[in-house]
Every structure is written in structure tokens, then in C-alpha cells.
Amino acid sequence: MTMNLTTTSFPLRLTRGGEGELYEHFRVIVDKGQEPVRIDKFLFERMQHSSRNRIQKAADAGYIHVNNAPVKSNYKVRPEDVITLMLNRPKHDNTIEAEDIPLDVVYEDDVLMVVNKPAGLVVHPGAGNFHGTLINAIAWHLKDMPSFDPNDPEVGLVHRIDKDTSGLLVIAKTPDAKTALGKQFFNKTTHRSYNAIVWGNMTEDEGRIEGNIARDPKDRLRMTVFPPDSEIGKPAVTHYRVIERFGYTTLIECILETGRTHQIRAHMKYIGHPLFGDERYGGTEILRGQRSSTYKALSVIVLHSATVKHFMHEP
């Protein structure tokens, strides 16, 4: 196989003799103090949406390169290696375009807006969802505001919720607003509460869940909980309060001290009360362990971002 550099522009594009062009999709430079480790394991720990099996298949196909040369999955990485994922298609253009998508605006002024996102709507464009997202809808809604650029990270979403979660999201229209709101979220001076239906009859009227959250090593699309003193993952605290009990299920309010990925979903599974309808975290199975066919028709998780308080305008 011959390999010739055809351009020095980023992303890198290579040609392989008789096999067409390859385009750079991912790049990482190995730290100087890195110990030798298989490249498939090294990349698995750094590519959130890829399984180790997919990485191995990419290596077998000649798509994993080290210092501009393809390697096999058993290659041991060395300090300062330049590792790239080279695929036979161009990287998708991530430019956010305005799209006429219905938007439920519950509050709006000159510097911010609050929208009520429906369950099932992806918040931000990403792998497999490059169009039809909430951000595309916001870009359309604010298309007549010259100072708002949906591709500018200094404006836009202040926080996020999962695709299958419904509820309130705050959007900053100006850089000053995003900075001020971001500080409030960081300093935990905002109040965020979620309503959720969970499996089981919760006996305590209220409680506190503390446990570090990290990606599940067995399922990269799921988060799992580790003890607070384990030094694994990020610290997370969820407070809950029972609103109403229905026998097999309970309606609760959750208040977050932290905002980790899938925090409520992971914490509720951790204490044995997964969210109703949350298949990834066991929420489509009755607590006795029998899969529920009666409720299988419910295609969304019952989790709603109910309140976001204390985003006062700051000078």
C-alpha cells in the first residue's frame, strides 16, 4: 500500500494507492509520560462513542494511523505518538443552520430566553443528529438578531438536558449573559428541580443520594455510580422528595447539587428505583425482575426539568 500526502490543510487528507482518499476524523498526541499500552485500549478510553470492537475493526481496515502510518490494534503506543483516525469519507460539517422547528418559549427578553423542550428532541447537533435539534430551532427563532451567532460558543445554551428528558432550558443571547448565567450555575446559586416517575414505592418521604458518576466500562452509553471516596468519576449529589405514591411507581421531585451526565437516571438506578420507561437503566422492567409488556408502549423516560430559578440579570 502506498501513501502520499496530498494536502497540508486541516483536516489531513491522504490517498492510498488504488483505494481512494482518507480524511482525518480524530487526532490525539500521546503524553510524554505514557506507559506502553495497546492502541485499541488507549483509544477506547478516549473516544466516548466508540466500542473497543469498532476500534479494532477500524485498525484492521487500515483506518488507525500512528505518525501517518496504519497500525494494527495490538500496536503499543509510545510517548508523543500522533494517533489519527482516518476514514474514507469527509468529516461532517458541524456548522449549525437555522431550521424552522416549533419552539415552546416560556420566557424571553433582550438577553436570555427559556424554552420548554419536548422529550425526544436532541439538544445539540452531534454524531447521528446533525439536523432537527433544539439549537437549530433556536437559530431560526433568533435569525433576525444580528448579534446572535448559533456557532459562537460565547452565546447559546447555558446548560443541557438529555434527549429523552423534557423541560426547561436557559439560552443566553449575549456573551455577557452567558458569562453571568454560567457563573450562577457553577457557584450553585441556581435552583434546578426535576419531576420524575420511578419504579417502586419509595418508603422515605425524602432523601439524599451521594455517589461519584463515571462512564460504565461495560456500556459506554451508560453512566454508573461509584463510592464518594473511590476517586473514580466526578462527585454528584441528588436530593429527592416524594410528591405522590402510586403503588408500583412513585412521583418524585429531584433537586441537583451537581449537574453530571445522566445524574438522576444513574442515581435512581443506584438506589433501586430506576426511572419509569428508562430502558438503558432498567426502567422498562418491574422491580421483581419481570420485563413489563404492559408499559412497553411508553417510548420516553418520565423525567421533566420542572423549574430553573434565580437567573437574575447581573450588571
Catalytic residue of the set 31, 60, 100, 162: 162
Pull the grid cell for residue 236. Answer: 454528584
**CB-count exposure of residue 47 (10 Å: 0-12, 13-18, 19+):** middle
Task: Decide if 216 is catalytic.
Answer: no
Q: Which residues, in sequence order, are CB contacts of 120 under 8 Å at separation 6+?
A: 163, 164, 299, 300
In DSSP terms, which residues pair with 117 in a beta bridge?
A: 167
What's the length of the chain?
315
Q: Which residues, in sequence order, are CB contacts of 134 under 8 Å at separation 6+?
A: 101, 103, 115, 117, 121, 122, 123, 124, 169
Asked if 303 and 196 touch (Cβ cutoff 8 Å), the reply is yes
Q: CA 20, CA 14: separation in Å to the nearest integer?
A: 9
Pull the grid cell for residue 219. Answer: 456500556
**Measured in Å, how far apart are the chain's first and last C-alpha atoms?**
62
Peptide bond preceding 11 in cis form (omega within 30 of 0): yes
Neighbour-count burial for 271-281, b at 16+ CB within 10 Å, e otherwise: bebbbbbbebb
- Catalytic residue numbers read 162
